[in-house]
Structure 1
Amino acid sequence: MSVDQAVWILLFLAIVLANVPWILSNRLFVLVALSKPKALWLNLIEWLTYLVVVGLIGIWLEYKTMGNIEPQQWEFYVINLFMFTIFSFPGFIYRYNLKMYLDKAKK
């Protein structure tokens, strides 16, 4: 696998996983079906878990493609947090703004 392929895989995975907690409001970690929609705090816990998972996959892809893991400073992790937040924006808007209007339009 080349470095370019690893970057595209990681970006795609980050965008998908950043939106999963917001779009799948009746499922916890995609596997557990819930009887009622998740609370905001549960969405945030799931979102942070996916952030850590994407970070670990990124470290694994870096090691797999380049053979070593470059040490990073705190700025790198803050930028990753904010990028993951930006990636999750469409799912958040769908869950808390757009879905309410779509449900009203159906009635």
Structure 2
Amino acid sequence: MSTSSQIVILVLLALLAANLPFANQRILVVGPHREAKPLVWRLAELVLLYFVVGGVGLALENHGGQIAPQGWEFYAVTGTMFVTLAFPGFVYRYLMHRPH
């Protein structure tokens, strides 16, 4: 698998993982179904999924060669990007007014 295809897969995985907390009412996708999952749970899932996607990215980087050292700037940018990718799910869950 080429490096560019690994990057595309990682970005698509991040897009899916960032929107997953807003797409369902279950805790961590497999937990009990709730009537309305609080925003705190959704944000906790978002942070957990950020680290899961980061682990996948680290594994892909390790598979491709030596892992480059990262400073705090890297984590600030990737965290901001992950929250930005979660925006469509947030809008769908909280800002779209649907008739009941």
| Band of TM-score, shorter chain | over 0.9
Q: Classify the secondary structure of the residue corresponding to 1:84.
A: helix
| Identity among equivalent pairs (%) | 38
Equivalence for 1:41: 40
Equivalence for 1:52: 51
Aligned residues between the structures: 100
Unaligned runs of 5+ in 2: none
Runs of 4+ residues deviating >4 angstroms: none
The structural deviation recorded for 1:32 is 1.7
Kindly report which structure 2 residues correspond to 1:75-86, keeping only aligned pairs within 5 A, or say none. Answer: 75-86=73-84
TM-score with structure 2 setting the length:
0.94
Q: Classify the secondary structure of the residue corresponding to 2:35.
A: coil
Q: CA RMSD in A?
A: 1.0
Give CA-to-partner distance per residue, 1:40-92, whole Å, 9 cap, x none: 10010001000000101000011112x11000111010000000010000000
Equivalence for 1:10: 10
Q: Which amino acid aligns with 2:48?
A: T
Equivalence for 1:68: 66
The structural deviation recorded for 1:35 is 3.0
* CA distance in structure 1 between the aligned counterparts of 2:2 and 2:27, rounded to whole angstroms: 33
- Structure with higher Rg: it is 1
* CA distance in structure 1 between the aligned counterparts of 2:58 and 2:66, rounded to whole angstroms: 9
Unaligned runs of 5+ in 1: none
* CA distance in structure 1 between the aligned counterparts of 2:12 and 2:28, rounded to whole angstroms: 18
The structural deviation recorded for 1:37 is 1.6
Q: Classify the secondary structure of the residue corresponding to 2:62.
A: helix
The structural deviation recorded for 1:15 is 0.3
